[in-house]
Structure 1
Amino acid sequence: MVTVVFALASCLAPAEDHRQDLNFLIDSWRDYGAYVRDDGIDVEALRKAYAPKFASVSGRPALLRALEQVVAELHDFHASLGTNDDASPRLVPSGTDVVGHWEGDKAIVDQVKTESLAARAGVKAGEEITSINRNSVREECRKWLGIRRPDRRAWDWALNSALAGRWNANRILGLRCRGQSRTLTLPTAAKDETMPVLTVEHREGGILYIRIENSLGNDDLIRAFDATTPQMRAAKRIVLDLRNTPSGGNSDVARGIMGLYISHRMPFQRHRVEERSTGTVRDWVEYATPRLKTPVTAKMVVLVGRWTSSMGEGIAIGFDAMHRATVVGTQMAGLRGAVDRFILPQSGIPVAFPTEQVFHINGLPRHEWIPPVRVIPRGNDDVWWFEAKRLLTKNRRGLSPE
């Protein structure tokens, strides 16, 4: 009954003109969007195309759908609303358990999140995705694309949007592997269970294994690392696993972690902002500084994958730039830049999108950076760990000396 009453209330909600929110959002992209110009986005065409929809919006659910459609025009998983409802898209990578890409006309599974619904159902890296929700993959992807002409990056964005799905809908995936086809019905990806901010294990080969549990925005993580310092000092080999950092975090926590492993101030990433009101560019280098009088000196490998996101990606390029660890893995989440949050003036809904471009110290955009030691996921094997152990134990003198 509550659901019916809510639905009727939504249908009967008086139409409101929300073009003030639309114009504020479009103006913000024009003035502050870090990749709007690089992507060739015609913001005025978007304003014109969506103005009729925003001129008459009946109820908050309709407003959310309209805003989600506009934000989707960026084809950028680092752009999102700060609120949602049951019909909203799941965020990528934090809300998904399957990541794929296009190879020509075929959609291929890149990675499957460990212990996820998709993993338990048997979805494996390397499989071809033949259908989504009983539609061809291209057809399902087109539902996520708006008025902008899609390029290769947009098609990958649409594919991963479709694989993530919406909060209130099951996903029906058609898969093919070695000539065998099957169809799986998956619930919407489950929310992560409550976990400690940090997992620490002593593993074979005298390796101290440290895994960050999606907590890079939590100051408690720094305290957890500090509490682990005696174990790190005693260890000769450390594996730092960043594969479960899909929600990103902040630079304060990242610098707090990296500062344990260096003896002097070191650059770890670059930022660039176009100051469009003056036609100038602000470009600066971000540094990590030592936090211990005597740093942790163990030889290190850092693990990354498709759920290494945003600040997790920043830590990975930081360790690489500082020559303090060897980074092992695959392409990361590829979230572009650093975001700022804007509040829409009429509805009060927060919207976040990239306003700064972020680079490796060597000048390569962070979202394009690939780890120097690549692995190819296969089945349920943890090829990351096998490669890390091989690297750390094959050479007793270690890797990447500081």
Structure 2
Amino acid sequence: MNSIYKLIFFIFLVGCSHSNKFDANSAWDELITTLRSEYAYIDRVNEDFDSVISNFHSKALATTSKEEFIDVAQSLLRNFRDPHLNLGPYDNDDFIVYPTGSDIYAEIQASSVVIVDIKSDSAAFEQGLRPGMTIKGVDGSTIDEAIEAVTGMPIERLSLAQKNYALNIALGGKRYQSRTLAVVNEDGEHSYSLAPSYDSINRLKDGPAVSFRDIGGVGYIRFNNALGNNTSVDEFGNAISSLEQSQALIIDLRNTPSGGNTGVAEPILGHFTEAKRTYQRYRTQTPGRSYSEATLQQATVSPQSPLINKPFVVLAGRWTGSMGEGMTIGLDALGAKAVIGAPMADLLGGIKRIELNVSGAWLELGFERLYHVNGSYREDFIPDMPLNSADIDEQGRDQALLVALDVLTKG
């Protein structure tokens, strides 16, 4: 090959190299523009939105591949404290998706990290972790180091709400990886080795979508993280038929961290009304128009047979997510005698998935702002009979179930 052809070939290779170079600047612009135009919860960020994203601007522009950019973007989005705000695809080194991959709920109290609730039938429960214990470290890292790894931010620049949100992601660990926690109880400090947090939630796929039993004349119905599975509708119908002779019902939505869809929820809610009823409200964010300017619309249910016309209570908590939250506020609107439990998981809004072409990522975000029928935001709903530990208390008891039985049999 003579020199002129070698030069042409070299210029061709250089051109190809430049054309294949990852364009971090365009990827960043696409992500931020999409958030500004499509996300209905920007105003919920503790700090000003521009301040939050400015902390990640230089990091994002320094990335040289789609994979690096996605890692930075994931850290950025966790600072928004919204479990519905997610970006993928994921890899095995990514943190769990909260709350599906979570089995411990803890809070920073003064200078300690205190376990507030433990998910029933989880790895943490099986290993004996209980509310009231304190956590000193995760996988060999201090609590501060673990929080910084989740958020990509120095600990001193985070609000308490951001720290607590990141803490509970860190306690769930990396996707499908085991965890080691340094925990202090009345006997001193101990090391707990926990199975991957997704293991217990994935086991539910082999069981019923809806489980039920009679407890002394009170029917108990529990949803097993399958509100996106149409079999839940049929199994709920079977449950209420089997419990026809019960004097009252307990509807347990505490194990719905992955949410679901209205196609499953609305036929179930229809058993609780004799006429078409509103069970929640919503406003939709569209490009160029904030949700706050949109018309407040009604989400309704139609009657389903058989009608449930007996007293009922609802159990909710830290692992009640998305459609589980929608069903909780819906049942409250449809006449629940009480909602018992802890604040829910706050998976914000009705979501959609948007493809980000430059980075090759997908972005899930809340584009519908959701409301209780009384006009309050869904994420602000608090059970009228609140409990700190809605799943398992310090003695390992299901306190919420005990309260529900007391309300229905003595109230």
TM > 0.5 fold call: yes
Q: Which runs of 5+ in 1 are unaligned?
A: 1-13, 396-402
Change (3 A) 1:345 1:95: same
Higher relative contact order (CA 8 A, sep 6+): 2
Bigger shift: residues 224-233 or 78-87: 224-233
Distance between the aligned counterparts of 1:116 and 1:391, measured in 2?
27
* Cα offsets for 1:185-230 (capped at 9, x unmatched): 3243142212334333333311222111111111221122233342
Identity of aligned residues (%): 26
The answer to whether the Cα contact below 8 Å between 2:102 and 2:172 also exists between their aligned partners in 1 is yes
Change (3 A) 1:229 1:328: same
Match in the other structure for 1:163: 171
Match in the other structure for 1:4: none
The answer to whether the Cα contact below 8 Å between 1:61 and 1:85 also exists between their aligned partners in 2 is no
Match in the other structure for 2:405: 389
Question: Aligned to 1:57, what secondary structure does the other structure show?
Answer: coil
1:33 aligned to which of 39, 44, 51: 39
Q: CA deviation at 1:316?
A: 0.8
Distance between the aligned counterparts of 2:161 and 2:122, measured in 1?
26
Amino acid of the residue matched to residue 173 of structure 2?
G
Q: CA deviation at 1:106?
A: 2.0
Match in the other structure for 1:125: 131
Q: CA deviation at 1:55?
A: 5.7
The answer to whether the Cα contact below 8 Å between 1:216 and 1:254 also exists between their aligned partners in 2 is yes
Q: Which runs of 5+ in 2 are unaligned?
A: 1-19
Distance between the aligned counterparts of 2:176 and 2:322, measured in 1?
26
Structure 1 residue runs of 4+, over 4 Å off?
Answer: none
The answer to whether the Cα contact below 8 Å between 2:176 and 2:198 also exists between their aligned partners in 1 is no
Distance between the aligned counterparts of 2:169 and 2:231, measured in 1?
32
Amino acid of the residue matched to residue 71 of structure 2?
R
Distance between the aligned counterparts of 1:41 and 1:256, measured in 2?
40
Change (3 A) 1:372 1:278: closer
Distance between the aligned counterparts of 1:228 and 1:171, measured in 2?
37
Q: CA deviation at 1:136?
A: 2.8
Question: Aligned to 1:301, what secondary structure does the other structure show?
Answer: strand
Match in the other structure for 1:316: 328
Change (3 A) 1:232 1:83: farther
Change (3 A) 1:348 1:61: closer
Amino acid of the residue matched to residue 106 of structure 1?
S
Match in the other structure for 2:237: 226
Match in the other structure for 1:72: 78
* Cα offsets for 1:377-398 (capped at 9, x unmatched): 2232111221111111114xxx
* Cα offsets for 1:59-92 (capped at 9, x unmatched): x543432332232232322111242111011011
What number of residue pairs does the alignment pair up? Answer: 380
Match in the other structure for 2:300: 287
2:376 aligned to which of 364, 369, 377: 364
Amino acid of the residue matched to residue 49 of structure 2?
D
Distance between the aligned counterparts of 1:367 and 1:72, measured in 2?
17
Question: Aligned to 2:271, what secondary structure does the other structure show?
Answer: coil
Question: Aligned to 1:37, what secondary structure does the other structure show?
Answer: helix
Distance between the aligned counterparts of 1:48 and 1:162, measured in 2?
21
The answer to whether the Cα contact below 8 Å between 2:23 and 2:358 also exists between their aligned partners in 1 is no
Compute the TM-score of the two structures, normalised by the length of structure 1: 0.86
Distance between the aligned counterparts of 1:309 and 1:168, measured in 2?
20
Change (3 A) 1:349 1:301: same
Match in the other structure for 1:206: 217
**Residue 181 in structure 1 maps to residue 193 in structure 2:** no
Distance between the aligned counterparts of 1:222 and 1:138, measured in 2?
44
Query: Which is helix-richer, 1 or 2?
Result: 2
* Cα offsets for 1:304-352 (capped at 9, x unmatched): 1211111101111111122234211112212222222111113443210
Q: CA deviation at 1:108?
A: 1.3
Amino acid of the residue matched to residue 390 of structure 1?
D
Amino acid of the residue matched to residue 352 of structure 1?
E
Alignment of 1:263-302 (within 5 A): 263-275=274-286, 277-278=288-289, 280-292=293-305, 295-302=307-314
Question: Aligned to 1:74, what secondary structure does the other structure show?
Answer: coil
**Residue 256 in structure 1 maps to residue 267 in structure 2:** yes
Q: CA deviation at 1:372?
A: 0.9
Distance between the aligned counterparts of 1:45 and 1:65, measured in 2?
16
Query: Larger C-alpha radius of gyration, 1 or 2?
Result: 2
Distance between the aligned counterparts of 1:24 and 1:197, measured in 2?
42
Amino acid of the residue matched to residue 407 of structure 2?
L
Change (3 A) 1:45 1:82: closer
Amino acid of the residue matched to residue 57 of structure 1?
T
Q: CA deviation at 1:48?
A: 8.2
